[in-house]
Structure 1
Amino acid sequence: MFFKRMSEMSAEDMVALWNKGFEGYYLNSSLDMSKFMARTVHEGLSLEHSLVLFENEEPIGFVMNGFRTIEGKKVAWNGGTGIVPEYRGKGFGKHLMLRNLQLYQEQGVDTAMLEALVQNEAAIKLYQKVGYEITEHLVCLQHTGELNVNLLESNFPERYILRRGHPVEINAVPFNRPMSAWQTQWPSMKGGESVFVTVAEEMVGYALFKRVYAENGSLASFVLYQCEARPGREDETEILKAALREVYAPLTSSCTRLTMNIRYSNKGLNELLAGLGFTSFVDQVHMLHHI
């Protein structure tokens, strides 16, 4: 048993190992070459600092890693871990994770994060054994068709001022959540947008989202990544409604509307989305390890 860097493999072998490692997974996570490379770039994954586990010269497992500096601390993200089916349940995953934590130490990482499907109990237990802790539950929601405009009507339409901006601007919001799930952070918002809600020049809410377009240029879907109201506001629901009206407009469009890894503890947002008819299609846990 030995390790290599993923960058030492050919692109074709990387993609083949990814697909083999996720074979039989709860979700269809298979990727073709273009999607694999796009994901690597968009999520800031480092092939040089991603590991491949070999047994008898055969690649049998991998972990892909991304790195960011957040509030002065180096943060690592496990952007995908897979073991080839015939080698699962034999302790190879633990060897892989322990070596990966060693790599994090070598790279001066302060905090490591990952997400795991709630159904993947074996993986969650493995991560806990090597020091990760569950810090949040996350949900991905979907809605197809028109939204009920009446449910997002404001009781105080003149109070809330909305402004569009760039995702990086949330750094200036005092209540932003920099350690949210990796793919919901502003550096992952290539082509994304932000919405800011103010009352009497006070910042009271924000959202991060993307519009996805079909090849013919038509709007295919909206994806919401973060939507927060300033903590302690009695008008939290009104703030969130104002942000959602802007994010998902035009509300009468019949395209798909999604959320990506919204935290369960954001109860006000989840209640609003449930009332609008959004339903869950992925549930995950967010896990952290302080190195």
Structure 2
Amino acid sequence: MPHFQFAFLTEKDLPELHSTFVEAFADYLVPIQLDYAQFQAKLKREGVTPSFCVAAYEGKQMAGFILTGLGEWEGKPTAYNAGTGVKPQFRGNRLTEQLYGFLFPKLLESGVEQCLLEVIQENAPALKAYKAIGFQTSRALDCFRAMKTELLLQVKAPENVTIGVTQNPDWKNYHHFWDMEPTWQNSTEALKQSPDAKAVLEARDQEAELLGYLVLFLKSGAVAQFAVDKKERGRGIGTALLREAVNLAEAPALMFINVDTTASGFIYYLERRHFKRMLGQYEMKMPLA
């Protein structure tokens, strides 16, 4: 077994961390390839703090890492795993457990009360490792995708409703419309932190009352948040918001990443518009305190 050394990272380690990330995720169940600017945007959006990121080294070579985002979740100081990666040649050495073993004391000293992550349901080795560490599943999540040309959005436009991009998102009121809590990377805090180009669409009536909204990442076509006032559903407001998202998105498809599977009405709506499930994930938590 290789002899690994562990260390927390600094800003100057980010280029090597990026190249290790690319190598570790090249053969992932869903291959992830981010250039350096996209990688930096991911770190910012998910609140990743380099001094809380831990890496394993064999000699001078980075073998694996955990990206750690810090923030609040369910009212508790939380460490979010924004990515665990191990280069292929170093797998099978229980590095995930060793990385967390090195990280936990610092989290406890810093007052962090819980750890949070998501893992693809079919990723049996990762699931086994996280359960061995002490993580438990908190909810199941589904991811959906549809080509823009295949979406069924040809319904009558809602009367007396205006759809437009806002420059002043009404973040404090959007949550009143939710059927489910967004996951960490789709949380309101993450969206505010993200440097990626996005559009916040709002539906308002003649009195300028908010009826619904949608947050779209323009380049990827990912819809991060989407909800309509429960009293106003069935009028075509959500579909009107999606139609405008199709017009604005640069990508050929729209995606919904990490939809809580208990939101059955929301999922039924997506399926009726022709969104197809791509994969499932588990959100997992572990208390520290």
- State the TM-score, normalizing by the size of structure 2: 0.79
Distance 1:11 1:109 in 2: 23
Alpha-carbon deviation of 1:140?
A: 2.0
- The answer as to 2:230 corresponding to 1:249 is no
Which residue is equivalent to 1:132? Answer: 135
Which residue is equivalent to 1:96? Answer: 99
Structure 1 counterpart of 2:222, which letter? V
Alignment of 1:173-212 (within 5 A): 173-174=175-176, 176=178, 180-189=182-191, 190=194, 191-193=198-200, 195=202, 206-212=212-218
Which residue is equivalent to 1:217? Answer: none
Alignment of 1:1-291 (within 5 A): 1-7=4-10, 10-70=13-73, 72-144=75-147, 145=149, 147-150=151-154, 152-153=155-156, 157=158, 166=168, 169-170=171-172, 173-174=175-176, 176=178, 180-189=182-191, 190=194, 191-193=198-200, 195=202, 206-212=212-218, 222-228=221-227, 238=234, 241-249=236-244, 255-291=252-288
Matched residues, percent identical? 21
The answer on whether the counterparts of 1:168 and 1:187 sit within 8 Å (CA) in structure 2 is: no
Give structure 1 stretches of 5+ with no counterpart: 214-220
Distance 2:61 2:21 in 1: 14
Q: Which moved more, 1:170-179 or 1:15-24?
A: 170-179
Whose strand fraction is larger, Structure 1's or Structure 2's?
Answer: 1
- State the TM-score, normalizing by the size of structure 1: 0.78
Q: Which moved more, 1:271-280 or 1:158-167?
A: 158-167
The answer on whether the counterparts of 2:55 and 2:62 sit within 8 Å (CA) in structure 1 is: yes
Alignment CA distance shift 1:5-1:123 (3 Å): same
Structure 2 counterpart of 1:98, which letter? G
The CA RMSD measured in Å over matched residues stands at 3.4
Structure 2 counterpart of 1:93, which letter? T
Alpha-carbon deviation of 1:20?
A: 2.6
SS at match of 2:151: coil
Distance 1:23 1:257 in 2: 23
SS at match of 1:129: helix
Distance 2:114 2:204 in 1: 31
How many residue pairs were aligned? 276
SS at match of 1:3: strand
Alignment CA distance shift 1:194-1:65 (3 Å): farther
Alpha-carbon deviation of 1:79?
A: 0.5
Whose helix fraction is larger, Structure 1's or Structure 2's?
Answer: 2
Alignment CA distance shift 1:208-1:96 (3 Å): farther
Give structure 2 stretches of 5+ with no counterpart: none
Alpha-carbon deviation of 1:66?
A: 0.8
Alignment CA distance shift 1:287-1:159 (3 Å): farther
Distance 1:62 1:250 in 2: 36
Alpha-carbon deviation of 1:72?
A: 4.6
Structure 1 counterpart of 2:244, which letter? A
The answer on whether the counterparts of 2:70 and 2:80 sit within 8 Å (CA) in structure 1 is: yes
Alignment CA distance shift 1:40-1:252 (3 Å): closer
Alpha-carbon deviation of 1:138?
A: 1.7
